[in-house]
């Protein structure tokens, strides 16, 4: 329980109040929780490129 960063492989966002729990892992947003399956951008808009990386 020490690590509160998003479980999305390329995301380094810290889990906040919008965090989504899925399969026992914490994601910072719905997009990450769905592994950006539909190209959803990361909710943390400050230059996080995890959504792009997911489609590489
Ligand atoms: Zn992200
Ligand atoms: Zn994330
Ligand atoms: Zn992500």
- Residue 22 dihedral angles phi and psi, to the nearest 5°: -150, 130
**Domain range enclosing 21:** 1-55
Which residues are CB-contacts of 46 (< 8 A; sequence separation ≥ 6)? none
Q: Give the model's pLDDT for residue 50.
A: 92
Please work out, in degrees rounded to the nearest 5, the angle formed at the alpha carbon of residue 3 by the alpha carbons of 9 and 56. Answer: 5
Cα 32 to averaged position of ligand 3 atoms, centre (Å): 4
Ligand nearest to the CA of 16: 2
Ligand with smallest separation from the Cα of 26: 2
| Beta carbons of 27 and 6 less than 8 angstroms apart | yes
pLDDT value, residue 1: 46
Q: Full-prediction pTM beyond 0.85?
A: no
Q: What is the pLDDT of residues 23-43, one digit of tens each?
A: 999 999 999 999 999 888 898
């Amino acid at each position: 329980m020490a690590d509160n960063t998003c479980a999305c492989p390329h995301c380094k966002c810290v889990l906040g109040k919008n965090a989504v729990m899925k399969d026992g892992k914490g994601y910072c947003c719905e997009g990450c929780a769905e592994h950006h399956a539909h190209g959803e951008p990361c909710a943390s808009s400050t230059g996080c490129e995890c959504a792009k990386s997911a489609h590489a």
